[in-house]
Structure 1
């Protein structure tokens, strides 16, 4: 069976989940049923409904409107990602951030009607103490949709901004290569690098449709990693080498870019999705190219940049408003679609930031 047909068949298995409906009479949740082995499958998820909780003194009740998705959620389900207090296991609500409205408040600092962005988990309501550990932020009323708080004006946006500017130090005219250019972080990095900084960006994506997409969003040229000879295309498009490589995939792609660094180049390690479902970790064989070119390879963890949240969101909102950053969010409709949306990420079926609309835009917004 062809890869595309296999992917379609696997995603179709989630169709019964997507048909599930929610109402405002219960709190619906997606919980871990089994730890994933490879990509997630329907049997890894358990649907649960319970009473809507009541907030105690010092708490607020939040109603979910949008949820964002990221590859790390599969690691949460496996129990291999750090969730801050304990590792998740079967029966636990899956972790994730989203956009919600305060519908009841017994907290002195949060008012009913406010729209917030923070750690909601895969559920339609949540009672929260609004503690610093949950990292809730008010969504500003700046004329932009609340949906953007689930991705572009959320952790995905912070990852793209921190990776590019705080770690990559891009400069006008630099020769840049970007993998995962059609994904959530990549689709923002390409536009910021090209339209804000003035870099020349070669974007990597899978398939002609995605390559067309990235060519329309900041990339001067593209590499189709599914069809092109990676090394030959890099030599053709970057004959003088690479000043900045923003890595979202790891593996052989990272190795190929390491072989083509210019002097004083930078590599930003944002993600390595090509390695996440491998049985054995990829072993990088040519890291010594960093020494030969006086180059730097730097990883980062988005939560280490949380103290810059307000400044970064101001930057991003400003670039959206002036047209230099077009927000791209691939939104699945309905809370039941969450498991399929996560599988989308590992099959490369999404374009832009993968999100889910639970209730759509809030009708009223303080």
Structure 2
């Protein structure tokens, strides 16, 4: 709807303030839709796939989403050079229609008859005002707290890329592009490695943050461009694997009727972490430079990584990988 409205305003050459107002409204609407869409997809995956299949779906979807973001961003820039922005809004609206049709096509056969879920248990007296039992509320806090470091670290690193690339290879725009590709490729490899079970969620949750901290220390000290590319690729692999693992935990750990609530809450916290980490990264770069920024990120990851060993991960009916 937002993209369609923007297309109409653009084509009729509406006032600039009107175009800006519609653009802001479209962004707000898109943010709400994305949050609800993720909650719905989480519930859908939980209902239609077994535990192992659901993990593979989420892992591959994340990898493909990263590739789609890279391809879409490049394609958007190319189309802007060839035509007006108004037609890109129209294309975005068309793509939403196609995705809606694809979802309806997928769901038209109804629920898989081979997948019979037990009736939901009645709420216990320990049910809290938020609709979660005491045990599940503690599980929700675990998911929210440990979604912060990896969700925030990736945009933190993105914020560092321009000043960092200028320090390693001054004036070489191609090196910044190489860093961006290395980061995206690392995210894709992480999803594929988890999906193929080359690495396990338990190992990622246990060692991922500490391994990322060690790589960040290396990036703070490295000055040789090929080594920097390798370290950026590896840290992207580990951090993205942690993000995916937390997404899988969000989908698989809670009761089925609480998946949507867990997903929405986690997305809110992850969004705040992304914005907060990005702002902090920009401030630290201005004050101390890229090398100090990597070290600050390493300290934050160590704090959360060590904290994982001390939190209670035993919950009624839930198995947290370790």
Query: TM-score when scaled to structure 1?
Result: 0.21
Query: TM-score when scaled to structure 2?
Result: 0.23
Query: Whose helix fraction is larger, Structure 1's or Structure 2's?
Result: 2
